[in-house]
Amino acid sequence: MNYPNGQKRNTATKQVIKPLSTHYGNRGMSLEKDINITNTYYLQTNRAVIHKKPTPVQIVDVHYPRRSAAVIKEAYFKQASTTDYNGIYRSKYIDFEAKETKNKTSFPLANIQDHQIKHMEAVLQHGGICFFIIRFAANDETFLYPAKYLLMDWKHHLKNGRKSIPYHRIQQNGVLIPFKFQARVDYLSVVDRLYFK
Protein backbone atom coordinates (compact mmCIF):
# COMPACT_ATOMS: atom_id res chain seq x y z
CA MET A 1 0.00 0.00 0.00
CA ASN A 2 1.24 3.50 -0.78
CA TYR A 3 0.94 6.61 1.39
CA PRO A 4 -0.94 9.61 -0.10
CA ASN A 5 2.39 11.19 -1.11
CA GLY A 6 3.17 8.18 -3.32
CA GLN A 7 5.86 6.62 -1.09
CA LYS A 8 5.67 2.93 -0.30
CA ARG A 9 4.88 1.84 3.21
CA ASN A 10 7.63 -0.12 4.95
CA THR A 11 5.97 -3.40 5.94
CA ALA A 12 9.15 -4.94 7.34
CA THR A 13 8.91 -3.21 10.73
CA LYS A 14 5.99 -4.00 12.97
CA GLN A 15 4.76 -1.51 15.47
CA VAL A 16 4.70 -2.96 18.98
CA ILE A 17 1.81 -1.66 21.06
CA LYS A 18 2.25 -2.11 24.78
CA PRO A 19 -0.92 -3.06 26.66
CA LEU A 20 -2.27 -0.49 29.06
CA SER A 21 -1.56 -1.32 32.65
CA THR A 22 -4.58 -2.02 34.78
CA HIS A 23 -2.68 -0.92 37.90
CA TYR A 24 -1.73 2.73 38.17
CA GLY A 25 1.06 2.19 40.69
CA ASN A 26 4.35 4.01 40.25
CA ARG A 27 2.97 6.35 37.62
CA GLY A 28 6.14 8.42 37.78
CA MET A 29 4.20 11.57 38.55
CA SER A 30 4.38 13.58 41.72
CA LEU A 31 1.22 14.45 43.59
CA GLU A 32 1.62 18.10 42.67
CA LYS A 33 1.86 17.31 38.95
CA ASP A 34 -1.20 15.06 39.18
CA ILE A 35 -3.18 17.84 40.90
CA ASN A 36 -2.04 20.43 38.36
CA ILE A 37 -3.22 18.16 35.51
CA THR A 38 -6.51 17.66 37.33
CA ASN A 39 -6.97 21.42 37.87
CA THR A 40 -6.29 22.09 34.18
CA TYR A 41 -8.97 19.53 33.30
CA TYR A 42 -11.42 21.14 35.76
CA LEU A 43 -10.72 24.56 34.20
CA GLN A 44 -11.06 23.31 30.60
CA THR A 45 -14.37 21.59 31.37
CA ASN A 46 -15.61 24.65 33.29
CA ARG A 47 -16.05 22.62 36.48
CA ALA A 48 -13.96 24.80 38.81
CA VAL A 49 -11.29 27.50 38.92
CA ILE A 50 -8.52 26.26 41.22
CA HIS A 51 -4.83 27.18 40.90
CA LYS A 52 -1.54 26.56 42.64
CA LYS A 53 -0.51 29.61 44.63
CA PRO A 54 2.82 31.09 43.57
CA THR A 55 5.45 31.17 46.29
CA PRO A 56 6.48 34.79 46.95
CA VAL A 57 10.21 35.04 46.23
CA GLN A 58 12.58 38.02 46.42
CA ILE A 59 15.24 37.75 43.70
CA VAL A 60 18.57 39.20 44.83
CA ASP A 61 21.13 38.25 42.20
CA VAL A 62 20.67 37.37 38.52
CA HIS A 63 23.46 36.37 36.12
CA TYR A 64 22.97 37.32 32.45
CA PRO A 65 25.43 35.28 30.33
CA ARG A 66 23.38 36.46 27.35
CA ARG A 67 20.08 38.25 26.93
CA SER A 68 17.97 35.11 26.43
CA ALA A 69 19.50 33.06 29.26
CA ALA A 70 19.11 34.74 32.65
CA VAL A 71 20.09 32.60 35.64
CA ILE A 72 18.88 33.37 39.17
CA LYS A 73 21.90 33.04 41.47
CA GLU A 74 20.35 34.10 44.79
CA ALA A 75 16.76 34.43 46.01
CA TYR A 76 14.86 34.39 49.31
CA PHE A 77 11.31 33.61 50.33
CA LYS A 78 9.55 36.92 51.06
CA GLN A 79 7.14 35.39 53.56
CA ALA A 80 5.88 32.03 54.72
CA SER A 81 3.32 30.65 52.28
CA THR A 82 -0.07 29.45 53.49
CA THR A 83 -1.42 26.45 51.54
CA ASP A 84 -0.68 25.13 48.06
CA TYR A 85 -3.97 25.62 46.19
CA ASN A 86 -7.05 27.82 46.25
CA GLY A 87 -9.98 28.70 44.05
CA ILE A 88 -13.73 28.54 43.67
CA TYR A 89 -16.12 25.65 43.14
CA ARG A 90 -19.92 25.78 43.16
CA SER A 91 -19.79 29.32 44.59
CA LYS A 92 -17.61 28.20 47.53
CA TYR A 93 -14.02 29.14 48.29
CA ILE A 94 -11.71 26.10 48.33
CA ASP A 95 -8.28 26.04 49.94
CA PHE A 96 -6.04 23.01 50.37
CA GLU A 97 -2.53 21.73 50.94
CA ALA A 98 -1.04 18.71 49.12
CA LYS A 99 1.53 16.46 50.78
CA GLU A 100 3.15 13.21 49.78
CA THR A 101 4.82 10.78 52.19
CA LYS A 102 6.84 7.59 51.78
CA ASN A 103 5.82 6.54 55.28
CA LYS A 104 3.43 3.54 55.25
CA THR A 105 1.94 3.79 58.73
CA SER A 106 1.49 7.52 59.45
CA PHE A 107 1.64 11.06 58.13
CA PRO A 108 4.33 13.15 59.87
CA LEU A 109 3.04 16.42 61.34
CA ALA A 110 6.49 17.92 60.78
CA ASN A 111 5.25 18.48 57.20
CA ILE A 112 2.86 21.17 58.51
CA GLN A 113 3.77 24.64 59.75
CA ASP A 114 2.01 26.63 62.47
CA HIS A 115 1.11 29.48 60.09
CA GLN A 116 -0.64 26.94 57.82
CA ILE A 117 -2.78 25.80 60.75
CA LYS A 118 -3.77 29.40 61.51
CA HIS A 119 -4.61 29.95 57.84
CA MET A 120 -6.82 26.83 57.71
CA GLU A 121 -8.62 27.89 60.90
CA ALA A 122 -9.36 31.29 59.32
CA VAL A 123 -10.67 29.69 56.11
CA LEU A 124 -13.03 27.44 58.07
CA GLN A 125 -14.14 30.34 60.28
CA HIS A 126 -15.20 32.26 57.17
CA GLY A 127 -17.15 29.34 55.69
CA GLY A 128 -14.60 28.11 53.15
CA ILE A 129 -13.87 24.50 52.29
CA CYS A 130 -10.45 23.49 53.54
CA PHE A 131 -8.64 20.15 53.49
CA PHE A 132 -5.39 18.28 52.96
CA ILE A 133 -4.68 15.92 50.09
CA ILE A 134 -2.30 13.28 51.42
CA ARG A 135 -0.66 10.69 49.21
CA PHE A 136 0.86 7.57 50.73
CA ALA A 137 3.33 6.82 47.93
CA ALA A 138 4.22 3.32 49.19
CA ASN A 139 0.52 2.30 49.21
CA ASP A 140 -0.31 4.28 46.05
CA GLU A 141 -3.28 5.83 47.86
CA THR A 142 -4.38 9.45 47.92
CA PHE A 143 -6.81 10.75 50.55
CA LEU A 144 -8.79 13.93 51.04
CA TYR A 145 -8.45 14.68 54.74
CA PRO A 146 -10.80 17.45 55.98
CA ALA A 147 -9.13 20.32 57.83
CA LYS A 148 -11.40 19.88 60.88
CA TYR A 149 -9.73 16.50 61.57
CA LEU A 150 -6.28 17.83 60.84
CA LEU A 151 -6.82 20.68 63.32
CA MET A 152 -7.89 18.15 65.97
CA ASP A 153 -4.75 16.10 65.27
CA TRP A 154 -2.64 19.26 65.55
CA LYS A 155 -4.15 20.16 68.94
CA HIS A 156 -3.51 16.62 70.22
CA HIS A 157 0.05 16.94 68.90
CA LEU A 158 0.55 20.11 70.96
CA LYS A 159 -0.87 18.46 74.11
CA ASN A 160 0.61 14.98 74.15
CA GLY A 161 3.46 15.31 71.67
CA ARG A 162 2.28 12.77 69.05
CA LYS A 163 4.30 13.67 65.98
CA SER A 164 2.19 11.99 63.30
CA ILE A 165 -1.34 11.07 62.22
CA PRO A 166 -1.76 7.28 62.10
CA TYR A 167 -2.65 5.83 58.69
CA HIS A 168 -5.76 4.12 60.12
CA ARG A 169 -7.07 7.52 61.33
CA ILE A 170 -6.64 9.03 57.86
CA GLN A 171 -8.47 5.99 56.43
CA GLN A 172 -11.24 6.43 59.00
CA ASN A 173 -11.78 10.22 58.71
CA GLY A 174 -10.52 10.84 55.20
CA VAL A 175 -11.85 9.70 51.85
CA LEU A 176 -9.85 7.80 49.25
CA ILE A 177 -9.68 9.90 46.07
CA PRO A 178 -10.30 7.97 42.85
CA PHE A 179 -7.63 8.00 40.15
CA LYS A 180 -9.01 8.84 36.72
CA PHE A 181 -7.41 9.37 33.36
CA GLN A 182 -8.10 13.10 32.89
CA ALA A 183 -8.85 14.10 36.45
CA ARG A 184 -5.92 12.18 37.92
CA VAL A 185 -6.72 13.21 41.49
CA ASP A 186 -10.47 13.73 41.22
CA TYR A 187 -10.81 15.45 44.57
CA LEU A 188 -13.95 17.38 43.54
CA SER A 189 -15.92 14.13 43.42
CA VAL A 190 -15.04 13.74 47.12
CA VAL A 191 -15.79 17.43 47.83
CA ASP A 192 -19.25 16.87 46.34
CA ARG A 193 -19.90 13.97 48.74
CA LEU A 194 -18.54 15.71 51.85
CA TYR A 195 -19.61 19.33 51.43
CA PHE A 196 -22.54 19.39 48.97
CA LYS A 197 -24.89 16.64 50.20
Please report, rounded to a whole number, the percentage of residues in the chain having pLDDT higher than 90: 59
182 vs 36, more confident: 36
Binding residues for Mg(2+): 82, 84, 97, 116
**pLDDT computed for residue 56 by the predictor:** 60
Burial (CB count <10 Å: 0-12, 13-18, 19+), residue 94: buried
Q: Does residue 128 register a pLDDT over 90?
A: yes
Is residue 59 within 8 A of residue 72, CB to CB? The reply is yes
Lowest mean pLDDT among 28-37, 114-123, 126-135: 28-37
Is residue 179 within 8 A of residue 185, CB to CB? The reply is yes
* pLDDT bracket for residue 5 (50, 70, 90): low
105 vs 17, more confident: 105
C-alpha–C-alpha distance, residues 95 and 190, integer Å: 14
Reduced to 3 states, what is the DSSP secondary structure of residue 166? strand
How do residues 34-66 score in pLDDT, each as one tens digit?
999 999 999 999 999 999 987 666 676 777 777
pTM for the whole structure: 0.75
31 vs 75, more confident: 31
The H or E element spanning position 77 is strand 71-77
| Residue type at position 87 | G
Region 25-30: mean pLDDT is 51
Region 114-143: mean pLDDT is 95
Q: Which residues of 167-184 are buried (b: 16+ CB within 10 A; e: fewer)?
A: bebbeebbbebebeeebb
**pLDDT computed for residue 181 by the predictor:** 84
- Sorted by where each starts, the structural domains of the chain and their CATH numbers stand as 35-195 (3.40.1350.10)
